[in-house]
Chain A
Amino acid sequence: MSAGVGVDLENLWIRFGDFVAVRDANVNIKGGDFFSFLGPSGCGKTTILRAVSGFLEPSEGNILIGGKNMKGVGPNKRPTALIFQNLALFPLMKVWENIAFSMEIKGASAGERRKRADELLEMIALEGQGDKLPSELSGGQRQRVAIARALCAEPHVLLLDEPLSALDLKLRQHMRTELREIQKRVGITFIYITHDQGEALTMSDSIAVMRAGVIDQIGDGKTIYNDPATPFAASFVGENNVFRGKVKQVSGDRVLVQSNRSGELLARVSTANVGKMKEGDSAMIFIRPEAFELARTGTEGDHYVSARVVNEEFEGNVFNIFMEGDGGKEIKVSLPNHGQSFDSHKGETMTLRYDVRNAVAMPAGVLATE
């Protein structure tokens, strides 16, 4: 198998008429990485993928694959292979012919092709299914055939355009693990497009969060989740409670915010925004539902919030408690299931405590609307 090579996007702009689909993207993807572009539909992530695969010429900027500029190189000449959202298997070719299509183009004999196809079929655990038509396979099997077909071309970079979105939940979760394993085995660079933060977090070495053509943040899953750079990244990846207010005091990476409805809150300035917040600025603080814990009622301070229990949702491993703070501020809290229930506390006011390290502050901005 060919080793993975790096992919670099340099000042990449893609416009369709007046519409800017991708705005000044700069990304360095390391060879052999599993890299995800994560964002809502229409954010430009598929456009980037099409540009990398060569179906679309960037309006400005460069795409480098393995250090080589791909300007003017057609999709059939690039060391990339693309897995389409709908897989796009050839319905009239047998499974093995589908897999070995790239070898057919290079003029390999039927025997060679069959042999290679069988090897790949074994790798994707579909031995002996080569003579079937794609329509005779299940969704998950077709998925794997599409991967095998792409790998057969021995690409240096595999591009995947939301390949799991057509599968049902169980299969999707299973395929996550499988994709990750295949990627480790073949060692090539994977670039993965998804709007599903779960997929991105579980599989990726690195994630780029995109919004409206702009890359908001690039980092590994933990960084994106724990230390978001923008309000959009904070609210799009995972669930978050947002508290709006004005900066009252800054000291180092700690900031005290006079929140609109929940009193004074102390928070940590997210790494990307250290030094960018000053007194009087509008600010947002993000606290994840699982970052709260119950405190003794009546305790007060700059890392406490009090709220009234409105509703409880039992999710098995956690209780989701929906609370209402001062002025109708909605707060969601997730507490691990220790066998207790909060049903009897409906209507009661409780005090929530958080660790300041888990409250992330940044200048106010656009949230993900979902």
Chain B
Amino acid sequence: MPRFLKDFLNRNGTGPGLVMLGLVLFWTVGLIILPQLSMLDFSFRPNLPPPEMGGPKDVYTLENYKYLVYGPEGGSQAYNAVDLMVFFRTLVAAVCVTVFNLVLCYPIAYYLGQTKGNHIRVLALMLIIPYWINEILRAFALRIIFGETGVLNTILTGAGLFDTPFDFIRNDYALYAGLGYAYILLMIFPIYNVIESLDHNQIEAARDLGAPWWRIHWRVVIPYAKPGISSGCTMVFMLSAGALAAPQILGGPSSLWFTQLIYQQFNDSSDWPQGAAYAVVLLVTCVLLVLGAMRLFKVNMGDIGK
């Protein structure tokens, strides 16, 4: 038995230790790894009616991946421009949402983490309570705000800033706002957690040595908060790239999110292998992007768990 396992069992007792291990294994292997492997398997098979599954035609193929790049065979275009566009736009938009969220949440997390007093609890509660409301309802609430005859347009035209209502939905503002808002907590809390443990004296020491506020953040607070920032960014990026409800409800009619394509293939076209291939491409690309970003910002995998 490896040493860490023995230590783990000694620390928690053999019975409870085994239960915990079993649950974690079930969670990761049974609920995550195996289903994903089965999706991976699907993605390499042709779309066959159930009777032919396992038959002679059921062989591994790259067809589904080719489709994403080249489109239907004999199609009019050399590349599957529509799907590829959606794919890259989704990734770029997810990156933008992540950056926007970081810029928005870092000051909030800093304030929450470094200020003392009871009002901090109230503020945290006010951040959490809206999340008691169902995600879809929240998305529709944003629709009411951003709609053509919505609250925002009524105010803006009423104030004379716009002559005609601005279509926030068609221009995707509503979508970005919705995605940003949906994952605010996942950005704030990891950063807040880390910043809360930052000794306030360090900030004062930097100030005392002559540092202006931005340099204090750049040299003292942000390096310290890096694990929290990276874990927040990872979650927000992954979840917005994989979001479905917000794009369905808040997206303009012409702007598809890549997850919507996947959804259509699974559901509308009943083409599971094609959907699986798209999902695998999205997953792998997102993981690679995250790993690349971690490398760029010199973050260790262990820091993410902090």
Cβ-defined contact, A86 with B209, below 8 A: no
Contact with A along B209-237 (1 / 0, CB 8 A): 11110010001100110000000000000
A81 to B204, CA, bound (A): 11
The answer to whether B204 and A76 have CB atoms under 8 Å apart is no
Q: Given contacts A88-B199, A92-B223, is CB(A105)–CB(B215) below 8 Å?
A: yes
Residue of B206, B208, B210, B220 with highest tally of chain A CB at under 10 A: B208
A75 to B204, CA, bound (A): 9
Contact of B211 among A54, A76, A86, A93 (CB under 8 A): A76
Contact with B along A70-91 (1 / 0, CB 8 A): 0000111100111011101111
> Is B202 located at the chain interface by the 8 A CB criterion?
yes
Check: B201 CB closer than 8 A to any chain A CB. Answer: yes
**In-complex Cβ contact of A53 among B206, B208, B212, B219 (8 A):** B208
Interface residues on A, range: 20 to 34
Quick check: is B205 within 8 A (CB to CB) of the other chain?
yes
Cβ–Cβ contact A75 & B208, under 8 A = yes
Do A88 and B223 have beta carbons less than 8 Å apart? Answer: no
Could you tell me which residues of chain A, from 151 to 179, have a CB within 8 Å of some CB in chain B?
Answer: 153
Q: Which of B208, B215, B223, B224 contacts A81 (CB 8 A)?
A: B208
8 Å CB interface, A54-74 against B: 54-55, 74
* In the complex, residue of chain B having the shortest beta-carbon distance to the beta carbon of A159: B208
With most chain A CB atoms within 10 A of its CB, the pick from B201, B215, B223, B224 is B201
| A-chain residues with CB within 8 Å of residue B202 when the two chains form the complex | 88, 90
- With the chains together, A89 CA to B201 CA distance in Å? 9
Question: Which of B202, B205, B219, B220: most chain A CB closer than 10 A?
Answer: B205
The answer to whether the Cβ of A185 comes within 8 Å of any Cβ in the partner chain is no
Instruction: Given the known inter-chain contacts A92-B223, A105-B215, please indicate yes or no for A75 contacting B199, CB distance below 8 A.
Output: no
Q: Determine if B295 is an interface residue (Cβ-Cβ < 8 Å).
A: no
* A102 located at the interface, meaning its Cβ lies under 8 Å from any Cβ of chain B in the complex: yes
Q: How far is the CA of A4 from the CA of B287 in the complex (A)?
A: 58
CB neighbours (8 Å) of B210 from chain A are 76-77, 102, 105-106, 153
A55 adjacent to B211 (CB under 8 Å) = no
Q: Contacts A55-B204, A92-B223, A105-B215 given: A81-B199 contact, CB under 8 Å?
A: no
**With an 8 A cutoff between CB atoms, is B207 at the interface?**
yes
Residues of A within 8 A of B199 (CB): 86, 88
CA A53 to CA B220, docked complex, whole Å: 20
User: Contact between A105 and B211 (Cβ–Cβ < 8 Å)?
Assistant: yes
Chain B residues positioned under 8 Å from A54 (CB to CB): 208
- Indicate whether A149 reaches chain B with its CB closer than 8 angstroms: yes
CB distance from A188 to the nearest CB of B (A): 15
* B219 & A88 in contact (Cβ 8 Å cutoff): no
In contact, B220 and A90 (Cβ under 8 angstroms): yes
**Which residues of chain B come closer than 8 Å to A101, judged between CB atoms?**
206, 209, 211, 219
Does the CB pair B224–A84 fall under 8 Å?
Answer: no
The distance in angstroms between the C-alpha atoms of A31 and B223, with both chains bound, is: 38
By a CB distance below 8 angstroms, the chain B residues around A86 are 199, 201
Check B201 against A76 for contact (C-beta < 8 Å): no
In the complex, what's the smallest C-beta–C-beta distance from A311 to chain B, in angstroms? 44
What 1/0 mask marks residues of chain A from 35 to 46 whose CB sits below 8 Å from any chain B CB?
A: 000000000000
What B residues does A81 contact at CB under 8 A? 208-209
Q: Which of A294-325 contact B (CB under 8 A)?
A: none
- In the complex, the answer to whether A149 meets B208 with C-beta atoms within 8 Å is no
Taking a contact as CB atoms under 8 Å apart, the answer to whether A102 and B205 are in contact is no
User: How far in angstroms is the closest Cβ of chain B from A120?
Assistant: 14
The distance in angstroms between the C-alpha atoms of A207 and B212, with both chains bound, is: 34
- Tell me the bound Cα distance from A102 to B212 in angstroms: 11
Q: Determine if B211 and A84 form an interchain contact, defined as CB atoms under 8 angstroms apart.
A: no
Q: How far is the CB of A96 from chain B (nearest CB, A)?
A: 14
Residues of B within 8 A of A84 (CB): 201, 204-205
Chain B residue nearest to A104 (CB atoms) is: B219
Q: How far is the CA of A53 from the CA of B210 in the complex (A)?
A: 11
- Which B residues touch A92, using CB under 8 A? 223-224
**Contact in complex: B209, A149 (CB < 8 Å):** yes
Q: How far is the CA of A106 from the CA of B212 in the complex (A)?
A: 11
Contacts A88-B201, A90-B202 given; does A80 touch B220 at CB 8 Å: no
Beyond A84-B201, A88-B201, A88-B202, whether A76 also contacts B207 by CB under 8 A is yes
Look across to chain B and name the residue whose beta carbon is closest to the beta carbon of A153. Answer: B209
Query: In the complex, what distance in Å separates the CA atom of A338 from the CA atom of B224?
Result: 59
Query: Which residues of A are found within 8 Å of B219, using beta-carbon distances?
Result: 90, 93, 101, 104
Q: Kindly name the residue among A84, A93, A106, A153 whose own CB sees the greatest number of chain B CB atoms within 10 A.
A: A84
A47 to chain B, nearest CB (A): 14
Residue in A closest to B220 when the chains form the complex, CB atoms: A90
Please give the distance in Å from B291's CB to the nearest CB on chain A: 23
A359 to B: closest C-beta gap in Å: 45
Is B211 a contact partner of A82 (Cβ separation < 8 A)?
no
* In the complex, chain B residues 214-267 whose Cβ is within 8 Å of any chain A Cβ: 215, 219-220, 223-224
> Quick one: closest B residue to A78, CB to CB?
B208
Provided the pairs A88-B199, A88-B201, A90-B202 are in contact, do residues A82 and B208 lie with their beta carbons within 8 angstroms? yes
What is the chain B residue whose CB lies nearest that of A161?
B201
Cα distance A82–B204 when bound, in Å? 9
18 contacting pairs across A/B (C-beta < 8 A): A53-B208, A54-B208, A55-B208, A74-B207, A75-B208, A76-B207, A81-B208, A82-B205, A88-B202, A88-B204, A88-B205, A89-B205, A92-B223, A101-B206, A101-B211, A102-B210, A105-B210, A105-B211
- Report, nearest first, the 4 A-B pairs whose CB atoms are least far apart: A88-B201, A88-B205, A102-B209, A76-B210
Name A's B-contacting residues (CB within 8 A): 53-55, 74-77, 80-82, 84-86, 88-93, 101-102, 104-106, 149-150, 153
Contacts A54-B208, A75-B208, A81-B209 known; list 5 others, CB within 8 Å.
A76-B208, A76-B212, A86-B201, A104-B219, A153-B210
